């Protein structure tokens, strides 16, 4: 038995367990609608900052952050409600099937005959994206010109907003069309799609973009000494750490060093590599389950596609409906991935805090205190929510 055959055994077993998807008429549409209705709203009626942050946060800033958070939460609730109503109407009345039919009519109108599934799939994507963009436009306008404007964060003019939206549509069409064409062609001809995601960033010799010469010198010193306790690699070019102006504006030089030490902690513990492997496993799991849905006539019939389309499901349509059905389970998986990411953040914090004690890096004394002060100053300036639901 070849290695390829051995690796395919668990995939084949999984697909056998999911074989019912291709034959059993299940209430897919109703399940997607029901599961998508669940959210929560709390913690914005607090009158004081959390005890461990109270001495660092001016009361007026806390009041402003609570007001900003409450407004965002109200808008988020309305946005969720609006989106759910729209999504429910779209799914219930066969929106996917209608977009597919309109794409076919568009294909006939431009004189492309006989029908081409890839071209119709691209037309479907354009129509679906346009409808989604138009229906969400009022929310975007309100968020930018009412909510963000009220709290002093809006820097966009109506002309810039409109121009950016049109540019987004144009870029999406120019870049998305050839990518989708290639993706569907590969799928249709059962070719192998691979991607090189195994590059491991190298913290040795890191160029740091920063405006303050003193901070630049000190940051280089921290970054230059840290690789001695991590690893060096000649296989990859140097990576960049870009320090944004918001950090420069809100944190002292010592704070910038502390944030840098935290980021270097991620490289020390190989967090990017670990997260990449986790995401690859997650992606492979999703891909392994998809073939069972790729030929599922009952799935398309459940979403109001005519039998003439459902009997030979288009790849793009099958994948979109598969994603909709997968959402409840994938939400649980995503929560687990967030928990892992949070654990990595605490590890990077600990690395920064112990940099002097454990690794004797010169200039790294008091890094924990400096990191905390830097993060708090950024939170205050951005009116971040201080009360977090556990």
pLDDT per position as a tens digit, 45-64: 777 887 878 788 888 888 88
Element (H, E) at 3: helix 3-17
Q: Is 134 exposed, middle or buried (0-12, 13-18, 19+ CB in 10 A)?
A: exposed
Residue 97: both structure tokens together: 């099937």
pLDDT of residue 321: 87
The whole-angstrom separation of Cα 272 and Cα 257 is 21
pLDDT for the residue 140: 92
Is pLDDT of 382 > 80? no
Q: Which residues contact 105 (CB under 8 A, 6 or more apart)?
A: none
Residue 339 has pLDDT above 80, yes or no: yes
Most confident of 32-36, 159-163, 232-236: 159-163
**How high is the pLDDT of residue 320?**
86
Indicate the pLDDT class of residue 340, thresholds 50, 70 and 90: very high
Band (172; pLDDT cuts 50, 70, 90)? confident
Window from 45-54, 144-153, 263-272, 288-297 with minimum mean pLDDT: 45-54
Q: Is the pLDDT of residue 190 over 60?
A: no
Express each pLDDT in 71-91 by its tens digit.
887 888 788 788 888 888 888
pLDDT at 230: 39
Main-chain phi, psi angles of 209, to 5 degrees: -85, 120
Higher pLDDT, 19 or 226: 19
Q: Residue 265: pLDDT above 50?
A: yes
Q: Please write the tens of the pLDDT for every residue from 276-299.
A: 999 888 888 888 888 878 888 888
Both tokens of residue 337? 């991935």
- Tell me the C-alpha distance between 268 and 285, whole Å: 28
Position 311 confidence tier, pLDDT thresholds 50, 70, 90: confident
Contact 361, 226 (CB under 8 A): yes
Beta strands in the chain (DSSP E): 208-209, 241-242
For residue 216, pLDDT over 60 is answered with no
Residue 139 CB-density burial (10 A; 0-12 exposed, 13-18 middle, 19+ buried): middle
pLDDT for position 251 = 62
Residues 71/77/79/82 CA torsion (nearest 10 deg): -140
Tokens of 204: 């040795």
Poorest-confidence range of 20-29, 209-218, 287-296? 209-218
Structure-model confidence comparison of residues 208 and 260, the more confident one: 260
Q: Cite the DSSP H helix spans in 269-381.
A: 271-294, 297-302, 307-310, 315-353, 355-359, 367-381
Could you give the CA distance from residue 270 to residue 246 in angstroms, rounded to a whole number? 27
**pLDDT digit string, tens, across residues 229-251:** 433 333 455 566 666 666 666 66
pLDDT of 302 > 80? The answer is: yes
**Residue 288: which residues within 8 A CB-CB, separation 6 or more?**
10, 11, 14, 15
**Distances from the Cα of 114 to the Cαs of 104, 111, 117, 133, 356, in angstroms?**
11, 9, 10, 30, 71
* Contacts of 350 by beta carbon, 8 Å cutoff, 6+ apart: 265
Cα angle for residues 219, 225, 226 (degrees, 5° grid)? 90
Q: Are 238 and 230 in contact (CB under 8 A)?
A: no
The angle formed by the CA atoms of residues 170, 173 and 175, to the nearest 5 degrees, is: 105
Instruction: Indicate if the pLDDT at residue 325 is higher than 80.
Output: yes
Please check the confidence at residue 136 and state whether its pLDDT lies above 50.
Answer: yes
Mapped onto helix, strand or coil, the DSSP state of residue 209 is: strand
The mean pLDDT value for 307-332 works out to 84
Sign of the Cα torsion 101, 107, 109, 111 reads negative
Bond before 114 cis per omega within 30 degrees: yes
- Residue 29: predicted pLDDT: 67
Binning pLDDT at 50, 70 and 90, where does residue 342 land? Answer: very high
203 or 114, greater pLDDT:
114
Six-digit token string for 83: 């989106």
pLDDT given for residue 127 in this prediction: 92
pLDDT > 90: percent of the chain: 12
| pLDDT the model gives residue 239 | 60
C-alpha–C-alpha distance, residues 25 and 32, integer Å:
15
Average pLDDT score over the chain: 77
Q: Could you tell me how many helices (H) and strands (E) the chain has, helices first? A: 17, 2
> For residue range 201-212, what is the model confidence (pLDDT) as tens digits?
444 444 444 455
């Amino acid at each position: 038995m070849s290695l390829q055959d051995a690796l395919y055994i668990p995939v084949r077993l999984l697909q056998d367990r999911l074989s019912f998807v291709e034959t059993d008429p299940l209430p897919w549409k109703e399940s997607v609608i029901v599961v998508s209705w669940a959210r929560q709203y709390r913690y914005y009626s607090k009158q004081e900052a959390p005890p461990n942050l109270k001495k660092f946060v001016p009361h007026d800033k806390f009041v402003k952050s609570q007001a900003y958070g409450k407004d965002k939460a109200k808008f988020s609730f309305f946005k969720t409600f609006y989106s759910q109503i729209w999504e429910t109407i779209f799914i219930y009345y066969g929106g996917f099937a209608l977009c597919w039919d309109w794409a076919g009519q568009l294909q006939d109108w431009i004189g492309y005959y006989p029908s081409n599934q890839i071209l119709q799939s691209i037309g479907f994507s354009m129509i679906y994206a346009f409808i989604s963009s138009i229906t969400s436009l009022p929310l975007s306008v309100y968020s930018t010109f009412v909510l963000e404007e009220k709290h002093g964060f809006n820097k966009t003019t109506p002309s810039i907003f409109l121009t950016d939206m049109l540019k987004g549509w144009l870029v999406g069409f120019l870049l998305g069309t050839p990518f989708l064409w290639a993706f569907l062609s590969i799928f249709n001809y059962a070719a192998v799609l691979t991607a090189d995601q195994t590059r491991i960033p190298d913290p040795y010799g890191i160029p740091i973009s920063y405006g303050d010469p003193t901070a630049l010198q000190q940051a280089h010193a921290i970054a230059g000494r840290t690789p001695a306790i991590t690893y060096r690699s000649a296989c990859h070019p140097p990576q960049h750490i870009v320090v944004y102006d918001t950090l420069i504006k809100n944190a002292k030089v010592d704070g910038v060093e502390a944030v840098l030490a935290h980021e270097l902690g991620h490289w020390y513990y190989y967090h990017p590599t670990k997260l990449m492997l986790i995401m690859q496993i997650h992606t492979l799991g999703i891909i392994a389950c998809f073939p069972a849905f790729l030929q599922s006539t009952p799935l398309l019939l459940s979403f109001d596609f005519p039998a003439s389309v459902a009997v030979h499901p288009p790849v793009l349509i099958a994948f979109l409906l598969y994603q909709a059905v997968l959402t409840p389970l994938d939400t649980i998986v995503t929560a687990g991935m967030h928990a892992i990411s949070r654990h990595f953040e605490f590890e990077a914090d600990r690395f920064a805090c112990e940099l002097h004690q454990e690794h004797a890096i010169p200039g790294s004394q008091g890094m924990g205190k400096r990191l905390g002060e830097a993060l708090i100053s950024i939170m205050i300036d951005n009116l971040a929510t201080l009360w977090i639901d556990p």
